[in-house]
A and B are shown apart, each in its own frame.
Chain A
Amino acid sequence: MAGSLGLGWLRGTAALLAVGFGLGILGLAKPSVAVAQGPALVVQITAEPPGLDLTATPASATATVVFYNIQEALVKVDAQGRLVPWLAERWHTTDNLNYTFFLRKGVRFHNGRELTAADVKFVLDRARNPETKHPHARQYEDIVTIHVRDPLTVTIALKRTNAMFIYNLARQGSVIYPREAVDQQKSQPVGTGPFALERWDRGDRIVLKRNPDYHVSGLPKLDRVTFRFIPDANAALAALQAGDIDVMAFGLGPESVELVRRAPNLQLIQGETTSDVILALNNSRKPYSDVRVRRAITHAIDKPEVVKGAMFGFGRVLGSNIDPLNPYFVDMAKAVPYDPARAKQLLMEAGYPSGFEAVLKVPPQYPYTVRTGEVLVAQLAKVGVRVKLEQIEWGQWLDRVYKNADYDMSIIGHAEAWDAGNYANPKYYYRYESARFQEVFAESERTLDEKKRRELYVQLQKIMADEAPVIWLYAYPRLVAAKKGVQGIWKDLPTPSLDLSEVGWAK
């Protein structure tokens, strides 16, 4: 009995060895380098980042890859949109002018060095220096001095109270990096995040590897993350169906949602974003300088129909620029209702009884702008506003419309959170100049009392709805398609990141 057992064992081993040897000779065994050590994830993103330096570009493609994955800030905007202490474990202020931050102990950069207060000082001093070309130097302009008290304590002094100060420290441009790595940010960013950059194959993919010293214990759950750049939505969907990628993070068009819902091996993640899709009007041009005309255009647009026609019903109808993820959001969608008769009457009062002609410039790089434009052309025609839809390439759009305000109407989604300040800036491409709005906005920036600030924001939203500097159409929906079994992806997108620290596979 024992003998036969032994023989069986021997025979089995011999057979295994032979097969293994044969496979090895034939080269059929997979090369060991291709085998991942642990759980890995392949994520499709639409656009390749124009460099990986968050302090040099506000591009969402850069933030998607780098923000919260490779680099982090003192404060974090979490999945629910709340501000939580992050690299700073706490802070305090007695006068709302001097803020002292206490850094988390034992946080290490990917290069092994410990994070210190001197890094924080270096990063913020650099950000507010206009010479460094930080995309948002103005967000740091109230800072007067940054004082390092000890290796883990830093005090920032402001010249005036600033209600957005802590929030600005949580933005992607405020990430903390080691001062010795400042010159390699563009292609080799170093940070404290759950993942470190392994390689960037230009034009193809970015690979991140797990940071074994991550300061949050138990995270990340993945060993490796690969971002693949697939610009074509159909190609990305096919790659997901074929199993080449695990997550389609951006670029899932609303037209493909049904397909994802019906696929047995896929899941749909649907939520909100901070992106407001607007019909921008050039307030410095006639007839848009007349508030009656702007109100007439608002009354002429049936927004639920726009969402249905252009977005297959996905997206929340908006009535002001404050997005649904903002804590001060008030639903203004019905403040100026769809009322074509009223629209015609207002046009008559403004001196355009038979309407007028307009050119609507849209960038086809963002397909929703074209689809939305087509619906709007039909709706506005009903009140006599004859709109010609003109598609222009993104680079030209930025130059003509955004930089030089050479346009009548345009459609675009503004993704930035807390961007009501654009309406207080008469040089912004809306060319909207309202003393009333500017005054209330300035006050809101200096008001720290939560209740008072909310009141001011409610007031801002009412002014916007009333003066209609642009027409807010809908909040762009968050639509993510993923393989079943992928867990931990944020439902909403309160900040432009694709935080993968808690993402993993179901056991």
Chain B
Amino acid sequence: MRRLILRRAVAFLATLFVVSLLVFTVVRVLPGDPALLIMGTEGSPEAAAALRRAMGLDRPIPVQYVEWLGGVLRGDLGRSIQYDVGVGRLILSRLAVTLPLTVLAAVFMTLAAVPLGVYAATRNGRAGDYVTMLLSQLGIAVPSFWAGLLLILLFAVRLGWVQAGGFDGWAAGLWSGLRALLLPAFALGVVQAAILTRTTRAAVLEVLRADYVRTGRAKGLSERTLTWKHVVRNALLTIVTILGLQLGQLLTGSIVLENVFYLPGLGRLALGAISARDLPVVQGVVLFVAATVVTLNFVVDILYAVLDPRIRYE
């Protein structure tokens, strides 16, 4: 286990190094720069050029990179051009929205998808199975921003139960915060839930065909014990793999929903920073997300070992 962690730590740092190099170069090679975007079509080109020099963007890219990397190693991600605050602080404040949103969506997704998938598999070929599959097909087909808008129109505009969007901060109370995140989390979770339902159903069906299930049934195990203790446990390996991948997709999908529900989250920060060429923010967010995804993968690997005693990574 120690060797595994050590190997992972080296891979972790190497990945982040490559990511940092890539993102740093790409945002600088891209046409358009922050000075140009700040001045727009109305500022004079001379002012844009002077601003570019003042930002140090006319220096060679390797020099800029080394300087930035030095800051990152000291824990300083730089300062946002657009917002005039530290990038680290900015990311943390946005996580307060995106993290609960993603977790809530993941909870929705798992609570809905796993039981539904198991249900469909055990009703294979019967009405319950068809209805579940039809619903999940619908869930995959509906784009999340559209689902989000429909939810807003129904629950906020027509019924007036919740606000149409926005987030007043956790300081306004736990319930106020949760209420603001319910609709977007649902819209975000629905698509992934549909995918997970189908995966779960397939995984459970696969296991149901195994010999030991027949044996279990023959020795008189109740259908309930059989399903939840033997079948689902063995299907979990596939489910957890997909779930791990989906967590990453929830993070990406949150960009779209943060826009529709105008939530001040990490996704909107990234999107806005790319269009404004707020280079320190783009670099900081990409690095942060890369670190998160690599860590998530690591956790999934450990979970494998826990779930399947045969995997112990020598």
Task: Give the B-binding residues of A (Cβ under 8 A).
Answer: 31, 34, 48, 50-51, 56-59, 130-131, 133-138, 186-187, 201-204, 228-232, 234-235, 238-239, 241-244, 365, 393-400, 402-403, 412, 414-416, 427
Contacts of B153 in A (CB 8 A): 238
Contact count band on B = 35 or more
B36 to A, closest residue via Cβ: A398
18 CB contacts below 8 A, A to B, read A58-B42, A133-B51, A133-B54, A135-B39, A135-B43, A135-B44, A136-B44, A138-B46, A202-B80, A202-B93, A202-B264, A232-B260, A235-B149, A235-B164, A235-B259, A239-B164, A241-B157, A403-B36
CA of A399 to CA of B84, assembled, Å: 24
Contacts of B149 in A (CB 8 A): 234-235, 238
CA of A133 to CA of B84, assembled, Å: 17
B85 to A, closest residue via Cβ: A202
B21 to chain A, nearest CB (A): 22
CA of A135 to CA of B39, assembled, Å: 7
Contact with A along B16-46 (1 / 0, CB 8 A): 0000000000000011110011111111111
Q: Which one, B41, B42, B46, B172, contacts A34 given CB within 8 A?
A: B172
B146 to A, closest residue via Cβ: A234
Contact with A along B65-86 (1 / 0, CB 8 A): 0000000000000001111110
CA of A396 to CA of B31, assembled, Å: 5
Task: Give the A-binding residues of B (Cβ under 8 A).
Answer: 30-33, 36-48, 50-51, 54, 80-85, 90, 93-94, 149, 152-153, 156-157, 160, 163-167, 169, 172-173, 259-262, 264-265, 268-269, 272, 275-277
Cβ-closest 3 pairs across A and B: A395-B32, A135-B43, A399-B31
Q: Which one, A31, A186, A395, contacts B275 given CB within 8 A?
A: A395
Contacts of B48 in A (CB 8 A): 403
The verdict on A235 contacting B152 (CB below 8 Å), with A241-B157, A395-B30 known, is yes
A242 touches B43 (CB 8 A): no
B207 to chain A, nearest CB (A): 43
CA of A51 to CA of B160, assembled, Å: 35
The verdict on A239 contacting B166 (CB below 8 Å), with A202-B264, A203-B268 known, is yes
CA of A235 to CA of B262, assembled, Å: 8
The verdict on A244 contacting B163 (CB below 8 Å), with A138-B44, A395-B275 known, is yes
B86 to chain A, nearest CB (A): 11
A200 to chain B, nearest CB (A): 8
B30 to chain A, nearest CB (A): 7
Contacts of B46 in A (CB 8 A): 130, 137-138
Contacts of B260 in A (CB 8 A): 232, 234-235
A58 touches B43 (CB 8 A): yes
Q: Which one, B41, B43, B50, B90, contacts A130 given CB within 8 A?
A: B50
A34 to B, closest residue via Cβ: B172
B262 touches A133 (CB 8 A): no
Contacts A59-B38, A235-B261, A402-B41 given; 8 further ones with Cβ under 8 A? A48-B272, A137-B44, A234-B260, A235-B165, A242-B156, A395-B32, A398-B32, A399-B33
Contacts of A235 in B (CB 8 A): 149, 152, 164-165, 259-262
CA of A456 to CA of B48, assembled, Å: 32
Inter-chain contact count A-B, CB under 8 Å? Answer: 153
Contacts of B262 in A (CB 8 A): 204, 228-232, 235, 239
Contacts of B31 in A (CB 8 A): 395-396, 399-400
CA of A472 to CA of B83, assembled, Å: 36
CA of A34 to CA of B149, assembled, Å: 28
A150 to chain B, nearest CB (A): 33
Contacts of A134 in B (CB 8 A): 47
A53 to chain B, nearest CB (A): 9
A416 to B, closest residue via Cβ: B42
A429 to B, closest residue via Cβ: B41
The verdict on A403 contacting B38 (CB below 8 Å), with A230-B165, A231-B262 known, is no
CA of A203 to CA of B90, assembled, Å: 10
B296 to chain A, nearest CB (A): 24
B164 touches A137 (CB 8 A): no
A364 to chain B, nearest CB (A): 11
A203 touches B166 (CB 8 A): no
Q: Which one, A135, A399, A415, contacts B32 given CB within 8 A?
A: A399
CA of A201 to CA of B39, assembled, Å: 23
The verdict on A51 contacting B264 (CB below 8 Å), with A203-B269, A232-B259 known, is no
Contacts of A229 in B (CB 8 A): 262
B268 touches A242 (CB 8 A): no
Contacts of A130 in B (CB 8 A): 46, 50
Contacts of B33 in A (CB 8 A): 395, 399
B148 to A, closest residue via Cβ: A235
